[in-house]
Amino acid sequence: MSTHSQDQFVELYTKEADAIFRFCLLRTSDREAAKDLVQETFSKIWKGIQAGVSYENPRAFAYKIARNLIIDWYRKKKAMSLDAMTDEDGNEEFVSIDENFVETIELGAEARYLISKIKELEEPYQHAVYLRFIEDLKPKEIAEILEEPVNTVSVRINRGIEKLKKITGYDNQNETK
């Protein structure tokens, strides 16, 4: 195993661990579970690197792994089928923050407000908006993570952000000084 590979992995981990942690925490509302999911995500990537796998977009791949691990976590931890974690239309809900959990983490008022408004968006906008708006991922990367065509993702991002700005009151029309 070359030190160059290890250096590359450590660089990826240093850059993305916090973002992946946020992604997991907002879905699980459980700090310890989120940490476990982060560790498992990067363990998988590291094992792949050791085995000679090279990743075209390691950042997107990390989110993709995390997303699927979260789905597994729900299935195992909460002992319910995917139906129970989806909304009425069968779409996977993005944010499952509960009010009690929000109180336990240090989160400013604006952040709480923004998260609650993202949660009000219909899926499939939630994922697209969070990944683009909060984590600055590119549409192509989000498409890879969500396993959807890039065009579909781009439309969702634009519509989702438009809706978000309206429901938060942060659109230009309502801006006051």
Partner 1 sequence: MKQNNLKKGIEEIKKISLSQTEKEVMLHAILKQPVVLPYRVKSPFFLQLRALSVACVAFILIIGVTTASAAENSLPGDALYSLKVNVNEPIRGVMSVTGVEKATWEVEKAGRRIIEVQKLAAKGRIDEKKKDEIEQKFEEEIEVQSKRLDDLERSSKNDTKKKEIKKAKKKIKDKLEKIKEEKKKNQKR
Interface residue list for partner 1 (CB under 8 A): 6, 10, 13-14, 17-18, 21-22, 25-26, 35, 38-39, 42-48, 50-53, 61, 64-65, 68, 71-72, 75, 81-83, 86, 89-92, 105-108, 110-111, 113-115, 133-134, 147, 165, 168-170, 172, 174-177
- Residue whose CB is less far from partner 1, 64 or 159: 64
> At closest approach, how far in Å is the CB of 36 from partner 1?
10
Smallest gap from Cβ 13 to partner 1, in A, equals 6
Q: How far apart are CA 22 and CA 141, in angstroms?
A: 17
Which amino acid would we find at residue 80? M
Give me the least distance between CB of 76 and partner 1, in Å please.
10
Q: Which CB atom, from 2 or from 176, has the smaller least distance to partner 1?
A: 176
The nearer residue to partner 1, 98 or 110, going by C-beta atoms, is: 110
- In whole angstroms, the minimum distance from the beta carbon of 102 to partner 1 comes to 11
CB of 142 to partner 1, least distance (A): 15
- Token representation of residue 49: 């690197």
For partner 1, the closer of residues 113 and 159 by Cβ is: 113
What DSSP line would sit under 27-70, residue for residue?
HH--HHHHHHHHHHHHHHHHHHHHTT---SSHHHHHHHHHHHHH
Give the residue among 65, 39, 25 at the shortest CA–CA distance from 147. 65
d(CA 63, CA 42): 10
Please tell me what DSSP assigns to residue 133.
I
Q: How far is residue 96 from each of residues 3, 30, 36, 58, 115, measured CA to CA in Å?
A: 40, 10, 18, 26, 10
* Residue placing its CB nearer to partner 1 in the complex, 45 or 121: 45
Min CB(100)–partner 1 separation in Å: 17
Strand partners, 92: 86
